Amino acid sequence: MLGKLFKHEFKDTAKILLPLNLALIGVTIIGMIILGLKVFDFEGVAMGFLAASMVFFYVLAIIALFIVTYIYLMIRFYRTMYSDEGYLTHTLPVSTFSVFNVKLLVSVFWAFLTMILAVISVIALFCTVLQSAGELTSSEWNYVLYELEMFFDKSVPALIGKCLLYMLVSCLSGLLMIYCSISIGQLFNKYKVAASIVTYIIIYIVLQIVNLILNMHRSMQIMTNSLSYAYQSTYDDVSIIGDIFASSMIQSVVLIVIYYITCVYISNKKLNLT
């Protein structure tokens, strides 16, 4: 049954999300060809303007891709769980728990995939530009990596691993925050969508305030560091960055657990289909 849930969830979401991600890959490849083969000579004002606007639209397209992906996943979650279609979803001979988990995992898969593809796309285009300008020789590349390792005091694979973990956690907490807001919003008998949005905004504001209070101490530390004579090397800052990273990871994980429990509880016990 779990397999069938995954199958249908993927089949359904792929209709919209697969073409979007393929488009991103396509745009990246085309961009690499244009930049790599120096099809255009970006000299002169007109060509410079063209280059700038291409970069602008590229950035815009990536942002749009994220927005469309998240909005699509959000609407789909609401539609299949809490609107009329919920009558079918919740009368399938599968536990609500499985239904929710499958939806969550499949959404995280898409959000994570899009994020990785976007990062790869940016890096690939950036490297192509450097390489075609002859500025990226292998020795310079090694130097950059070495500097990175020195700065963060970590090996490159470890850094990449850490970034991936951070991306995964942020996808998970981002989606769960949305799903949690929708689950709370549907508890209202009217204006469920509006209630969901308001819930989201409230959670967002509360998180900002909590963050502000939590980070107050650390920002003070950075400020005093930078002002004081004791300020000697950048490595202190790095450890503080590491600190911020660790604490925001912990915070995200705690939030993920809270959102998750809320979602599962509501979809299991507090369905309010009208």
Partner 1 sequence: MSTILECKNLTKRYGNFTALDQINISLEGGHIVGLLGPNGSGKTTLIKIINGLLTPTSGEATVHGKPIGVESKKVISYLPDHTYLNKNMRIRDIIDYFEDFYSDFDTKRAYDMLAKLSINPTDKLKTMSKGTKEKVQLILVMSRHADLYVLDEPIAGVDPAARDYILNTILSNYDENATILISTHLIADIENILDQVIFIHNGHIRLSSTVEEIREQNGKSVDALFREVFKC
Binding footprint of partner 1 on the chain (CB under 8 A): 1, 4, 7-8, 79-80, 84-88, 90-95, 269-271, 273
Nearer to partner 1, 24 or 76 (CB): 76
Q: Which two tokens stand for residue 54?
A: 């291409």
Minimum gap (Å) between residue 262 Cβ and partner 1:
16
| 119 neighbors 170 (Cβ within 8 angstroms) | no
Instruction: Report in angstroms how near the CB of residue 188 gets to partner 1 at its nearest.
Output: 13
Nearer to partner 1, 53 or 274 (CB): 274
Nearer Cβ to partner 1 (7/218): 7
Q: In this complex, which beta carbon is closest to partner 1, that of residue 1 or of residue 145? A: 1
Cβ(33)–Cβ(85) under 8 Å?
no
Q: How far apart are CA 186 and CA 70, in angstroms?
A: 19
Alpha-carbon span 263 to 181, nearest angstrom:
9
- Provide the minimum distance between the beta carbon of 66 and partner 1 in the complex, in angstroms, as a whole number: 23
Write out the two tokens for 69: 């992906």
CB of 260 to partner 1, least distance (A): 20
Closer Cβ to partner 1, 221 or 274, answer by number = 274
Smallest distance, partner 1 to C-beta of residue 182, A:
17
Cα separation of 29 and 124, whole Å? 9
For partner 1, the closer CB: 38 or 79: 79
d(CA 184, CA 195) in angstroms, rounded, equals 8
Residue 72 beta carbon to partner 1: minimum distance, rounded to whole angstroms: 13
Decide if 17 contacts 117 (C-beta within 8 A). no
Tokens, residue 33: 């060809």
Give dist(CA 219, CA 240) in Å, integer: 10
